Amino acid sequence: MIRTRIKICGITREQDLDAAVAAGADAVGFVLYAKSPRYVTPQRAAALARRLPPFVTPVLLFVNTPPEEVATACDQVPGAMVQFHGDETPAQCLAATAHPARPFLRAARIPLDENAGRFDLVRFAAEFSQAQAILLDAHVEGYGGGGKAFNWSLLPTSVDSHLVLSGGLTPANVTDGILQVRPRALSLAVDVSSGVEASKGIKDADKINRFVAAVRAADAHFAEIQHVDPLSTA
């Protein structure tokens, strides 16, 4: 069965990190963008990341941070993946993650209105072909974390990239988001922040558990499809 990977982003507290791990998250995200209400320092991110068990990946989120500062912060969190969430160019992403080589995600900020269909995701993915995946987030003020979902149906029908669906996901809508977007990509993961919060920067363990359950429901749906039709690419 295809298993949708899950990232819980915007972690600021030990108990929230522990709740994400207990629920089955594959990755946790730390926001190193000072203007975010979920901001943590590199030192705080490192301290939290040391609580992680094996095979749960820490992800460091940056917004228009100079490459040398990205590299310095990453030195404090061995094994971290990098998420570029601003206006970084392919060259800047590679410069920041080259020494030592680190995998990175590049966020694509998809317009909220009908202009979502005008965003050239195929071209964007090609420009950032060195990224491990393209993260799809809603284009909101403040570079993410706004709890807004874009129109998934307006995405291209086929993107030659691994995708991470983000932007306004909640336990109530993530199953539908996966069902709509997974067939369009090489693979699909999901990334949630505000949708599992009690308040900004404070997670809700029950919402995390319900979110993970909703993701697994989508996985079960696809398993049923493939059982009925083994040739299905869904």
* Catalytic annotation present for 93: no
Pairing outcome for strands 57-62 and 187-192: unpaired
Active-site annotation holder among 16, 74, 93, 137:
137
Q: In Å, how far are 11, 35, 100, 102 from 145, measured between CA atoms?
A: 12, 11, 29, 24
DSSP string, 158-212: --SSEEEE-SS--TTTHHHHHHHHGGGSSEEEEEESGGGEEETTEE-HHHHHHHH
Q: Where are the alpha helices (DSSP H) in the chain?
A: 14-23, 42-49, 67-75, 90-96, 121-127, 174-181, 205-228
Q: Give the integer Cα–Cα distance in Å for 127 and 146.
A: 26
* Closest to 31 in 3D by CA, of 159, 178, 200: 200
Active-site annotation holder among 9, 16, 93, 191:
9
* Catalytic annotation present for 137: yes
Tokens describing residue 37: 């209400």
Catalytic residues: 9, 137
